[in-house]
Amino acid sequence: SEEELRDRIVDAKAKLGSRVLILGHFYQRDEIVAHADFVGDSFQLAKNATERPDAEHIVFCGVHFMAETADILSTPEQSVTLPNLSAGCSMADMADIGQVEECWEQLSEICASSQDGRGLAPIIPVTYMNSSAALKAFCGRHGGIVCTSSNARAVLEWSFARGKRVLFFPDQHLGRNTAAAMGMDLRRMPVWNPFRPLGDNSAEDYRDAQMILWKGFCSVHQRFTVEQIERARAAYPGVKVIVHPECSFEVVNAADGTGSTAYIVNEIENAPAGSAVAVGTEINLVNRLAADHPDKTVFCLDPVVCPCSTMYRIHPAYLAWSLEHLLAGDVVNRITVDADTAGEAKIALERMLRVHP
């Protein structure tokens, strides 16, 4: 039963004491969040993974790329467990290293001649945190950097101080939304389709480009529409609409604010009592915020339940099982990034942490 699982987790965690650090993303179920030492957005959790080098084990209640990042940033002695190995991220899976290398080769050929006199590189690769360690390592090798939804703008500013163009993967929406907010021209943001390279664009489009976007998206955030925002505004006059930047450009433009999950949490905490806030992000987070703020009307823009199915795969039974194994001296579902990949990925992650500590 739910209570039994809760008791097993509490018991194993108490016995492990300071030997274990449990990290939980904002999208996790309430029954998981209740046990996390830190709950945060992907940026905060990456930093939290470095803050307890004394903990032998990190149990990451989130998705695969987050656990990989924790392994890269934590000490080599610490183990990182992902309680359910099938908790991936469909967006992160939309760019693999083979596709990115092929894209890089073709774009480098197209753009090489355009190296300018100011010493700027033809292209800087930027990967969203939601990507495999291999992609982060690619960015480390090629003078690039990692960003999250909470620092994408600062990271792009850093990148454009070094390069004429940015190749941004895997989320086209975060790339487009951030670049547009910086005043860049949407017509200079061609989208690279890994299954149809150059298909929808000409070589000239890439030569003229500022932002080269990758044809990736989040299936949860791509569901939000401008019509939903219009309906929310009609039903709740004065409602504040806030959305995650993985939503489409049109949705972000129609909203009153956009930012990472930490931004969304913060906005709702600071909203005045009696106000209404419509949110365009994952339902577990929105429902928890609504329950925590009964004095405000907090609701999800999408009336149909809108969960991240992979985040939801971290069921309390897996957490109990992982902790009990740690207690017995056995690390299950360990996430390890090989040393070469980790070393290069760390370069790109540390660049991000210098730009946005």
Q: Which residues bind ligand SF4 (CB under 6 A)?
A: 63, 89-91, 130, 218, 220, 246, 282, 308, 310-311
Q: Which does 178 bind (CB under 5 to 8 A by kind): ligand SF4, ligand 13P, none?
A: none
Q: Is 74 annotated as a binding residue?
A: no
Q: Which does 90 bind (CB under 5 to 8 A by kind): ligand 13P, ligand SF4, none?
A: ligand SF4
The 3-state DSSP class for residue 152 equals helix
Q: Are 111 and 207 in contact (CB under 8 A)?
A: yes
Which of 168, 149, 334, 131 lies closest to 258, judged by CA? 149
Minimum CB–partner distance for residue 270 and ligand 13P (Å): 17
* List of residues contacting ligand 13P (CB under 6 A): 26, 41-43, 130, 148-149, 218, 244, 246, 260-261
Q: Is 253 annotated as a binding residue?
A: no
Q: Is 293 annotated as a binding residue?
A: no
Between 128 and 138, CB nearer to ligand SF4: 128
Q: Is 225 annotated as a binding residue?
A: no
Return left, alpha or beta for 153; rule: phi > 0 is left, psi -120 to 50 is alpha, else beta. alpha
Taking the CA atoms of 50, 55, 56 and 61 in sequence, report the sign of the dihedral they define.
negative
Minimum CB–partner distance for residue 223 and ligand SF4 (Å): 10
Between the alpha carbon of residue 165 and those of residues 188, 248, 315, 345, the distances in Å are 10, 22, 42, 21
Q: Which does 260 bind (CB under 5 to 8 A by kind): ligand SF4, ligand 13P, none?
A: ligand 13P
Between 143 and 307, CB nearer to ligand SF4: 307
Q: Is 246 annotated as a binding residue?
A: yes
Minimum CB–partner distance for residue 26 and ligand 13P (Å): 6
Which of 269, 313, 234 lies closest to 60, judged by CA? 313
Minimum CB–partner distance for residue 66 and ligand 13P (Å): 8
Q: Is 89 annotated as a binding residue?
A: yes
Q: Which does 310 bind (CB under 5 to 8 A by kind): ligand SF4, ligand 13P, none?
A: ligand SF4
Q: Is 282 annotated as a binding residue?
A: no
Give dist(CA 338, CA 72) in Å, integer.
9
Minimum CB–partner distance for residue 53 and ligand SF4 (Å): 27
Between the alpha carbon of residue 221 and those of residues 73, 141, 168, 247, 279, the distances in Å are 28, 31, 18, 5, 11
Between 65 and 206, CB nearer to ligand 13P: 65
Crossing angle of helices 64-73 and 339-355, rounded to 10°: 90
Structure tokens at 304: 């149909």
Total Cβ atoms within 10 A of residue 183 = 6
Between 70 and 111, CB nearer to ligand SF4: 70
Q: Is 244 annotated as a binding residue?
A: yes
β pairing state of 79-81 and 57-61: parallel
Between 40 and 163, CB nearer to ligand 13P: 40
Minimum CB–partner distance for residue 89 and ligand SF4 (Å): 3
Between 142 and 244, CB nearer to ligand 13P: 244
β pairing state of 191-192 and 211-214: parallel
Q: Are 243 and 252 in contact (CB under 8 A)?
A: yes
Which of 319, 290, 350, 259 lies closest to 62, judged by CA? 319
Across the strands, what pairs with 145? Answer: 126
Q: Is 261 annotated as a binding residue?
A: yes
Q: Are 196 and 190 in contact (CB under 8 A)?
A: no
Q: Which does 214 bind (CB under 5 to 8 A by kind): ligand 13P, ligand SF4, none?
A: none
Between 94 and 319, CB nearer to ligand SF4: 94
* Known binding residues for iminosuccinate: 25, 42, 128-130, 149, 244-246, 261
* Known binding residues: 25, 42, 89, 128-130, 149, 218, 244-246, 261, 308
